[in-house]
Structure formats: structure tokens, C-alpha cells
């Protein structure tokens, strides 16, 4: 059995169990329940998660006004992830009202409702908060994932919310047929959503760029897709902060259309602009970054290379 199959079954089981508990005891009690689980299962007995968290927290600390307290900062980081997972269920079940949201850049969404656009995300915060934003017309979102086993999750999401206008699309390989299909989605006024912070398995299409003062490899996939489809591109960050749920929307480009001779340079420039925005959000809410693996060590072809920090 392949590791992808094992991971899928495990993730689905825990999602169903958490969903059942959510419906039985509610959002706030479930958050209290997950705290000891995080302590005894993830924080104490999964050292690789602690190491990854510590690496990230050490590198984000120079960008903060106040340094996180050691050693409990890694526990708080993992607990934030667990709490956001509970909030994701709240988003899917419609338990997050628009009154809870603080919206910045909402005009960019309004300008593109019912029109094709590409949404760039990262493993930061809780993208399910987008479901609490009320649009004038229903907006279909296609989430592009690097997983050949998406149909099972699509059925599960429909079970959670039969009215959901979100579908997962596997794009392990971006061929001509996939590009034509995605263009059809855009022409139908639908949005595409892709994460821009994790390199797909077996992909070599990356650019090494500074992030939090150290070089790391960032995938080109989402940006190449935007260049191919020549569509508007927005970056979105959703996260809890000061007892509110924040949604920040950044318009990166109305049309990714560069001359072939400039494409490489322009893609690197806009990727670095995006990374700068990620740094700004990490400095504001550092515990919302959820890449719990050696983000720099595993992706960086030269892990000893260090870029000069430019604090945001």
C-alpha cells in the first residue's frame, strides 16, 4: 500500500471523528478537548513536529516585536493548528458569521465575482473563512491539489455541506488536457485556488528565494499556471487575530501576460513579492504558519546559504 493511500484513510478517519465530536459538544468545548491531545500526542511524542516548529519560530522571531516564550512556544504553535482545524469545520458547517470577519481588500473579490480568477494561498491560517463572505451570486471555487485521491474527499465535503460550491481537482501533472479544462472553468466564471508554498512530489520546478532571512525553494506551479491562463491573480490570507477572524485579499495582477524573454524574471519578481506578503502575515500572527516539516532544510539545495534579512 502506498503512503498516499495510508495518509488519505488516516486523515479521513480523524476528520470524520472530529466532525462527530463537533456536532456533539460544539466548537468551543471541542477546542478545550483537543488541548491535551496536542500535548500528549503531538507535542511530547512527535519530536519532528517540535523541531520543525522551533526552526520556523527561531527564524520568524527577528521579525516580531516580542519574541515567543521558550519552550512552550512550540506547543502553542501546534495548539493553534488544532484550533484552526476546529474552526475549519465551523466554516464548512456555516457556523462562522460574516459579523465575525474583518475584511481587507474585499473590493478585489467584488470586482471578480462571476469572473475567472486564480487565488493564491499558503498553509497559513484558515481558508474556510472565505465561506462566511457573502457574495451577490454563488461563486464556484476549484481547489487544485497534488493528490490523485481527491474523489473521496469531494464526497466527504459534500456530506458535510451538500450546498458547497467548492470542488477539489487533482493536478499532479499540468498537461494540455488539464490546461484546457482549467481554462473552461475560468471561462465559466469560476475561480481556481492553489497553494504556493509546497513543492509537489517529484517536481523540480522551484525557485530559491529568501524567506524570513534564509533561502528556501518555492514552487513555480501556481505562477506558471497564472502565466499560462493569463487571468487575474489574488493572494488571500485568513486567520484569527485579536478575537476576530481576518480575511486579507491582495490583488497581485489583473493579467499575468509577460513577453517570453521577460517571463522568468517577472515570475521571480512576483514570487518574491508574494513571499514578502507571507512574511508580513507571519510577523503579525506567527503561530498561523502550518508547514510542520523542515521548510528550509528539505527544500533548500544549499541549506547553509543565508540571505540578508530585510525585516518587514
Higher pLDDT, 259 or 265: 265
Residue 89 CB coordination number (10 Å)? 19
Task: Single out the residue of 234, 222, 115, 228 nearest to residue 171, CA to CA.
Answer: 222
Rounded to two decimals, the pTM is 0.86
Look over the chain and give the mean of its residue pLDDT values, rounded to a whole number. Answer: 83
DSSP of 224-262: HHHHHHT--EEEEEEEEETTEEEEEEEEEES-----HHH
pLDDT interval class at 16 (50, 70, 90)? confident
Q: What pLDDT score was predicted for residue 6?
A: 32
Rg over CA atoms, the chain = 19
- Residue pair 238/246 in contact (Cβ under 8 Å)? The answer is yes
Confidence of residue 310 (pLDDT cuts 50, 70, 90): very low
Looking at residue 12, its pLDDT comes to 67
Q: Is the pLDDT of residue 157 over 70?
A: no
At residue 137, the pLDDT reads: 65
Peptide bond into 71 cis (omega under 30): yes
- The predicted pLDDT at position 118 comes to 96
Gap between the Cα atoms of 225 and 31, Å rounded: 38
Among residues 235, 251, 238, the alpha carbon closest in space to that of 284 is found at: 238
Cα 173–176–182 angle (5° rounding)? 80
Split at pLDDT 50, 70, 90, the class of 5 is: very low
b/e 218-240 (16+ beta carbons within 10 angstroms → b)? bbbbbbebbbebebbbbbbbbbb
d(CA 231, CA 224): 11
Query: Which ranges of the chain does DSSP label H, i.e. alpha helix?
Result: 3-25, 27-37, 47-60, 72-92, 106-112, 151-160, 176-187, 221-229, 260-284, 295-299
Residue 197 three-state SS:
coil
Q: Per residue in 177-203, pLDDT tens?
A: 888 899 999 999 999 999 999 876 666
Q: What is the mean pLDDT of residues 207-233?
A: 92
Per-residue pLDDT reduced to its tens digit, 261-304: 888 888 899 999 999 999 999 999 999 999 998 899 755 444 33
Q: What pLDDT, on a 0 to 100 scale, did the predictor assign at position 150?
A: 57
Amino acid at each position: 500500500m502506498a503512503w498516499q493511500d495510508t495518509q488519505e484513510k488516516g486523515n479521513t478517519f480523524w476528520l470524520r471523528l472530529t466532525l462527530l465530536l463537533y456536532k456533539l459538544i460544539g466548537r468551543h468545548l471541542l477546542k478545550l478537548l483537543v488541548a491535551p491531545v496536542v500535548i500528549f500526542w503531538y507535542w511530547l511524542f512527535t519530536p519532528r513536529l517540535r523541531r520543525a516548529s522551533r526552526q520556523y519560530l527561531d527564524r520568524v522571531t527577528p521579525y516580531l516585536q516580542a519574541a515567543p516564550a521558550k519552550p512552550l512556544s512550540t506547543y502553542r504553535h501546534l495548539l493553534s493548528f488544532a484550533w484552526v482545524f476546529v474552526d475549519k469545520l465551523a466554516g464548512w458547517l456555516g457556523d462562522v458569521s460574516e459579523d465575525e470577519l474583518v475584511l481587507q481588500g474585499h473590493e478585489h473579490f467584488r470586482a471578480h465575482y462571476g469572473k475567472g480568477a486564480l487565488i493564491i494561498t499558503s498553509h497559513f491560517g484558515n481558508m474556510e473563512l472565505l465561506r462566511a463572505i457573502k457574495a451577490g451570486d454563488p461563486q464556484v471555487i476549484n481547489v487544485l491539489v497534488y493528490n490523485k485521491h481527491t474523489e473521496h474527499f469531494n464526497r466527504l465535503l459534500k456530506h458535510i455541506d451538500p450546498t458547497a460550491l467548492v470542488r477539489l481537482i487533482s493536478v499532479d501533472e499540468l498537461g494540455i488536457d488539464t490546461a484546457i479544462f482549467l481554462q473552461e472553468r475560468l471561462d465559466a466564471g469560476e475561480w481556481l485556488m492553489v497553494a504556493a508554498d509546497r513543492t509537489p512530489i517529484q517536481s523540480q520546478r522551484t525557485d530559491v528565494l529568501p524567506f524570513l532571512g534564509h533561502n528556501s525553494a518555492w514552487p513555480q506551479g501556481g505562477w506558471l499556471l497564472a502565466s499560462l491562463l493569463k487571468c487575474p491573480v489574488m493572494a488571500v490570507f485568513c486567520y484569527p487575530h485579536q478575537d476576530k477572524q481576518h480575511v486579507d485579499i491582495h490583488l497581485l495582477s489583473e493579467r499575468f501576460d509577460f513577453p517570453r524573454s521577460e517571463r522568468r524574471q517577472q515570475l521571480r519578481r512576483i514570487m518574491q513579492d508574494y513571499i514578502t506578503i507571507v512574511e508580513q502575515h507571519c510577523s503579525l500572527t506567527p503561530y498561523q504558519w502550518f508547514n510542520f516539516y523542515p521548510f528550509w532544510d528539505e527544500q533548500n539545495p544549499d541549506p547553509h546559504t543565508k540571505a540578508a534579512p530585510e525585516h518587514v
